[in-house]
Amino acid sequence: MNVTNQYKVVGTIRLGLLLTIIILTFFYPSTALDLNINDQQSISSSIARGDSVHIHGVATGHPQIGLQIWFIGNNYVKVTTISVASDSSFDYELKPVDTQNLAPGQYFVLIQHPMMNGQFDIVYNAATGQVINKQLGVGSVIFTLTGPGSLQGPNAATALINAVHNQNIDDTFTTVSFFVEEPNALINPIGNHNVGEKFTITGSTNLAVDDDLLIEIYSLSFRPTTKEQSNEFSGTSGIVKVQPGTNGNNQWSYGVDTSAFKPDEYIVQVSGINPKVSGSASFNIVDREVSSGIQQTVTQTSIETFQPSPTTKSIPTTYSAPDMTWILILGFAIGFTLFNRHHIGKL
């Protein structure tokens, strides 16, 4: 197979794997960030930009007009109303299309309940960017949330909490927050391995559990070559899912069988489609015999280069057997010479 055809084959395989990731993402969305307002101890507080956020819980009293949810971050505001199910539960998803353009940082979420009067007393006017208290006559402006002169981030969240918490407002609320980070996919140190060895490559990521990652391993010598040069290719690729981790870092792993690998330097490329992320590392595959020979040479050299002190008499502990062939030849020559001299003397 020539180089052009090799690139076509590898390109086709990679395209197929990428399409598989896209299909899996569509039909099997990741669990992403789970914000359960009734069990805040279980909340994971960060997502990679482009992952979704699920907010769910139980609303007491089953409010007929639903709940109002406020999302507030630096230069970001989203206010929406959601319905409550017949069992008083609710569920809302901040979709990847919403989070993929969010700037890294902290985002505050306020879930507002209308309570006894069945209406939201604190509302947002998207036309003016103002937060209004509807209990005061026709409505009184409390502060500006978007547009010129607006409050930002923590200041806006604090002002909103104070507004809903006012004793003249019968609405109740609960709050949660989360952080948005740039997506990352890290690869743990791999080290060198022998041809035929089986091992596992591992890494960490801030992507959500069940997100798909494409793992590609290819020989560094896989590059355009002349007809006279070797163009053989070895490597592997596959798709893995992100697994739960600890301390906000999830994990991934990929098993490698190097039985068909040739000795060379290899590149590991890890990448994701949604969210987009990539990382790379390198390692070496060496011939087992070569690595053993190197070790043997090093050991032998270390023994031979050791010399005793000049003032110390050493007694050799090993002897090398002399070459018997040369001794026999030398003996035969001496004997033949003596024989000739003996006969010449008699003549």
Helix (H, G, I), strand (E, B) or coil at 61: coil
For residue 149, pLDDT over 50 is answered with yes
**Nearest C-alpha neighbor of 281 from the set 200, 162, 199, 191:** 191
Question: pLDDT, tens digit, for every residue of 85-140?
Answer: 999 999 999 998 899 889 999 999 999 999 988 899 999 999 999 999 988 766 78
**Nearest C-alpha neighbor of 170 from the set 117, 110, 109, 111:** 117
Point out the least confidently predicted range of 110-114, 141-145, 221-225. Answer: 221-225
What pLDDT, on the 0 to 100 scale, is given for residue 221? 76
What pLDDT, on the 0 to 100 scale, is given for residue 223? 54
Question: pLDDT, tens digit, for every residue of 51-88?
Answer: 989 899 999 888 999 999 999 998 899 999 999 999 99
What pLDDT, on the 0 to 100 scale, is given for residue 71? 96
**Residue 233 vs residues 10, 218, 266, 273: alpha-carbon distances, Å:** 10, 8, 11, 26
Banded model confidence at residue 273, pLDDT cuts 50, 70, 90:
confident
Asked if residues 114 and 69 have their Cβ atoms less than 8 Å apart, the reply is: no
Place of tokens 């008699």: 346
**Nearest C-alpha neighbor of 125 from the set 143, 148, 102:** 143
What pLDDT, on the 0 to 100 scale, is given for residue 107? 94
What pLDDT, on the 0 to 100 scale, is given for residue 275? 77
Mean model confidence pLDDT for the chain: 76
All structural domains of the chain: 3-26+183-289 (2.60.40.10), 32-181 (no CATH)
What pLDDT, on the 0 to 100 scale, is given for residue 314? 32
d(Cα 195, Cα 296) in Å, to the nearest integer? Answer: 18
Ramachandran bin of 235, using left for φ above 0, alpha for ψ from -120 to 50, beta for the remaining angles: left
CA angle 142, 143, 145 (to 5 degrees): 135
**Nearest C-alpha neighbor of 206 from the set 104, 73, 283, 76:** 104
What pLDDT, on the 0 to 100 scale, is given for residue 246? 79
Which residues, listed in sequence order, are joined to residue 270 by a DSSP beta bridge? 215, 279
* Pairing mode, strands 46-48 and 172-181: parallel
DSSP notation for 214-276: EEEEEETT-S---TTS-----EEEEEEE-EEEETTEEEEEEEEE-TT--SEEEEEEEEETTTT
Global pTM reads 0.66
Asked if residues 243 and 184 have their Cβ atoms less than 8 Å apart, the reply is: no
The mean pLDDT of 161-172, rounded to a whole number, is 91
Question: pLDDT, tens digit, for every residue of 169-212?
Answer: 999 999 999 999 999 999 999 999 999 999 999 999 999 888 89
Q: Which residue has the higher pLDDT, 334 or 276?
A: 276
Place of tokens 């018997």: 324
Banded model confidence at residue 22, pLDDT cuts 50, 70, 90:
very low
The enclosing H or E element of 142 equals: strand 140-144
Question: pLDDT, tens digit, for every residue of 288-338?
Answer: 765 544 444 333 333 333 333 333 333 233 333 344 444 444 444 545 454
Name every residue whose Cβ is closer than 8 Å to that of residue 328 and which is 6 or more positions away in sequence: none
* Pairing mode, strands 264-272 and 212-219: antiparallel
For residue 339, pLDDT over 90 is answered with no
The mean pLDDT of 19-34, rounded to a whole number, is 46
d(Cα 99, Cα 116) in Å, to the nearest integer? Answer: 34
